[in-house]
Amino acid sequence: MCGIVGYTGKRQAQGVLYDCLCRLEYRGYDSCGIAVNTPEVQVFKDAGKVHDILQNAPLFKGTAGLGHTRWATCGEPTQINAHPHTDCTGKICLVHNGVINNYSQLLKRLEGNGHKIVSDTDTELIAHLIEEYDKGDLEEAVRLAVKEIEGSYALVVMRSGENTLVVVRQDSPLVIGVGDGEYLVASDVPAILGYTNRVIYLDEGDIGTISPDSLKIRRNGGYIVPLVEKVNWTQDESQKAGYSHYMLKEIHEQPRVIQNTLINMPLPESFNKSEILEQSRKTGILFLACGSSYHAALTARYLVEEHLNIPVRLEIASEFNYMHRLLPCKLAVVLTQSGETADVLRAMRRLKQAGCMVVAITNVAGSTAARLADHTIYTQAGPEIGVAATKSFIAQLIVLYALCFAGASAANIRYQDYLSTMRLLPSVVQSILGSHQNIKDAAVEVAKSKSAFFIGRGINYPIALEGALKLKEISYIHAEGYAAGELKHGPFALLSPETPVLALVSRDQTYEAMLTGLREIKVRRAPLIVIGEAGDEQLGQLADRVISLPSFNRLFNPILFTVVLQLLAYYVALELGCSIDTPRNLAKSVTVE
């Protein structure tokens, strides 16, 4: 996987492909390349970054082409493994996101038929398959070839001497941009926003045939009139706007994201009906997610069980898919920033087959998760370019808080007050963003370490997990998040003057236990950085450094802690000179298992 682009129209394709690939760099990748019909297929590719590789490409004159940024899954990041790939004749050329599970069987068959496979990738096999089936109708050749493929794929295919592109998807996203006498193809909308805001989201199994003046979409054996949708994001929203990194910009966008999410979040009526909630009191609500979204779901567990009195079952989607027995479930809530997380989509299909109502919380309209779900709630975060989730995570928390309080407000008037209090959050978050020199100073200290612990209790425990994830994602410092009481059960062995501990402390029912834990850490001489509430003098007596939150309703401390920890991770990575927006080995949208 990572980023796909394609173009056919009246412009010179090479410049369009380069521009679109630059807009996909945020997804994370290790090699890149382009192919242009001149009319012969000309390919230029290598391991490395778009700017470093493609600025050295020879000038290819042609108005149809493909481009790709690759995050290695099958075969190391090398020139020969980079996309695009061709068959041995050079007639068929394609780019691919996804993973081919029956690679070994296909390789054996193709080599037995005389095909010479030169790369280590599963993608190259697809080009050879299509070449075998190509009798003059490229769309039909692609259709027959993908019938042999087991796995996930988004493909853009072209044939030498033609300006037609054939596209197909299965368990990997693909979108078509509709222009004036031109079409673009991409794995993600931001890639094409500079050219059009009109898009067609392909469904599973769709095959599209595109030329500058025509578009055909084949679905379930017949041709359809596709729905053209308008994207409400602007190109400016996906730019840095003067910030040094996308991540910093997106952290600073969070007050607006909170406001937009609260204003534009219609609660799905049937989700909020008392009978659905009542049924869930017997079987519970299932939450499913991966990565940062899992930490948001874990936060929701504390909220739902305390304020709705409904038991919550929480599963990592990638593990849930390998559980043989599916326990009774009336309502499942899935969280996926991109709406294309492969493990989450697989779990959604399984749940729907079992008759479970599925609610998706996602940031991307038209995504696969949005189309699969019975109800979708959009987080209104706008395009998030930095690989590390920041504003999308905050938006997920806001949605989960609001859902919980809306569900409880029918029985208790105080939850209406909580919903009103949430509307004050943007200004409180802004105050953290406007005065964070103490966080920057703490980051200088943390940057000197090779390992760190993040601890919290109760509803702050998931935020400790998220803080640790942010630090290791972008600074490459080993970090672990723990429930504070668990340090005594083994991790204490790792405490030393070189191992800082970052503690999240609220003056709630966990407060005294947290103070006891801080004392235990302090006597083991580990540097102690505490994030706590303003005016707490006891923290100053225990900690080496205190970062104080603005005074606010402590029920919302997880949101405020999150902003502090995002800034901390950012400034640690900045101190170390790391690639903050595109950390090594990571991709923004995980579309393979």
Q: Is 330 labeled as catalytic in the residue annotation? A: no
Instruction: Please tell me the distance from the alpha carbon of residue 149 to that of residue 62, in angstroms, as a whole number.
Output: 31
User: Could you tell me if residue 130 is inside a domain?
Assistant: yes
Instruction: Please tell me the distance from the alpha carbon of residue 422 to that of residue 401, in angstroms, as a whole number.
Output: 9
User: Could you tell me if residue 459 is inside a domain?
Assistant: yes
Peptide bond into 39 cis (omega under 30): yes
Place of tokens 């596709």: 226
Phi, psi (degrees; rounded to nearest 5) at 506: -110, 150
Phi, psi (degrees; rounded to nearest 5) at 436: -135, 30
Contact 352, 326 (CB under 8 A): no
Q: Looking at mean pLDDT, say which of 63-72, 354-363, 390-399 comes out highest.
A: 390-399
User: Could you tell me if residue 578 is inside a domain?
Assistant: yes
What does the pLDDT look like over 167-180, one tens digit per residue?
A: 999 878 899 999 99
The DSSP line for 67-134 is: EEEE--SSS-S-TTTSSPEE-TTS-EEEEEES-BTTHHHHHHHHHHTT----SS-SHHHHHHHHHHH-
What does the pLDDT look like over 371-410, one tens digit per residue?
A: 899 989 999 898 888 889 999 999 999 999 998 888 787 6
Residue 109, classified by CB atoms within 10 Å of its CB into exposed (0-12), middle (13-18) or buried (19+), is: middle
Residues 212, 348 share a domain? no
Residues 253, 230 share a domain? no
3-state secondary structure of 546: strand
To 10 degrees, the CA torsion angle through 183, 188, 191, 194? 70
To 10 degrees, the CA torsion angle through 146, 147, 149, 153? 40
Residues 288, 199 share a domain? no
User: Could you tell me if residue 338 is inside a domain?
Assistant: yes
Residues 248, 225 share a domain? no
- Please list, in sequence order, all residues whose beta carbon lies within 8 angstroms of the beta carbon of residue 334, skipping any fewer than 6 positions away: 287, 288, 289, 317, 344, 347, 348, 358, 359, 360, 361, 369, 373
Residue that finishes a domain, picked among 187, 220, 237: 237
Q: Which domain holds residue 230?
A: 2-237
What does the pLDDT look like over 519-532, one tens digit per residue?
A: 999 888 899 999 99
Residues 217, 257 share a domain? no
Q: Which residues pair with 214 in a beta bridge?
A: 211
Instruction: Please tell me the distance from the alpha carbon of residue 480 to that of residue 454, in angstroms, as a whole number.
Output: 6
Q: Which amino acid is at 334?
A: V
pLDDT averaged over every residue in the chain: 89
Residues 377, 467 share a domain? no
Residues 414, 279 share a domain? yes
Q: Which residues pair with 227 in a beta bridge?
A: none
**44 pLDDT band (50/70/90 cuts)?**
very high
Give the CATH number for residue 566.
Answer: 3.40.50.10490
Residues 147, 50 share a domain? yes
User: Could you tell me if residue 591 is inside a domain?
Assistant: no
What does the pLDDT look like over 17-28, one tens digit per residue?
A: 999 988 887 666
* Catalytic site residue from 2, 20, 356, 578: 2
What does the pLDDT look like over 423-439, one tens digit per residue?
A: 999 999 999 998 888 99
What does the pLDDT look like over 302-323, one tens digit per residue?
A: 999 999 889 999 999 989 988 8
User: Could you tell me if residue 230 is inside a domain?
Assistant: yes
At 224 the pLDDT is 93
Contact 184, 6 (CB under 8 A): yes
Mean pLDDT confidence for 341-346? 90
At 372 the pLDDT is 92
At 71 the pLDDT is 74
At 41 the pLDDT is 94
What does the pLDDT look like over 181-226, one tens digit per residue?
A: 999 999 888 889 889 999 999 988 999 999 999 999 999 889 999 9
Residues 419, 436 share a domain? no
User: Could you tell me if residue 592 is inside a domain?
Assistant: no
Residues 266, 203 share a domain? no
Q: What is the token pair recorded at 156?
A: 């853009």
**Bigger pLDDT: 55 vs 131:** 131
Mean pLDDT confidence for 556-578? 97
Instruction: Please tell me the distance from the alpha carbon of residue 494 to that of residue 471, in angstroms, as a whole number.
Output: 18
**Bigger pLDDT: 103 vs 395:** 395
Lowest average pLDDT, out of 69-73, 389-393, 403-407, 501-505, goes to: 69-73
Instruction: Please tell me the distance from the alpha carbon of residue 474 to that of residue 361, in angstroms, as a whole number.
Output: 25
Q: What is the token pair recorded at 250?
A: 């997106």
At 414 the pLDDT is 81
At 491 the pLDDT is 85
Sheet with 222-224, side-by-side order of all strands: 85-86, 92-97, 153-159, 165-170, 207-211, 214-219, 222-224
Residue that finishes a domain, picked among 423, 458, 492: 423
Residues 509, 571 share a domain? yes
Instruction: Quote the pTM value.
Output: 0.76
**330 pLDDT band (50/70/90 cuts)?**
confident
Q: What percent of the chain has pLDDT over 90?
A: 59
Total domains present in the chain: 3
List the end-to-end C-alpha distance of the chain, in Å, as a whole number: 11
Instruction: Please tell me the distance from the alpha carbon of residue 378 to that of residue 6, in angstroms, as a whole number.
Output: 28
3-state secondary structure of 2: strand
User: Could you tell me if residue 589 is inside a domain?
Assistant: no
3-state SS string over 197-259?
CEEEECCCCCEEEEECCEEEEEECCEEECCCCEECCCCCHHHCCCCCCCHHHHHHHCHHHHHH
At 112 the pLDDT is 92
Phi, psi (degrees; rounded to nearest 5) at 74: -125, 105
Contact 157, 130 (CB under 8 A): yes
> Can you say how many angstroms the Cα of residue 104 is from the centroid of all Cα atoms in its chain?
30
**364 pLDDT band (50/70/90 cuts)?**
confident
Burial call 146-185: b when 16+ CB within 10 Å, e when fewer: bebbebbbbbbbbbbeebbbbbbbbbbbbbbbbbeebbbb
Length of the chain: 593
Q: Is 2 labeled as catalytic in the residue annotation? A: yes
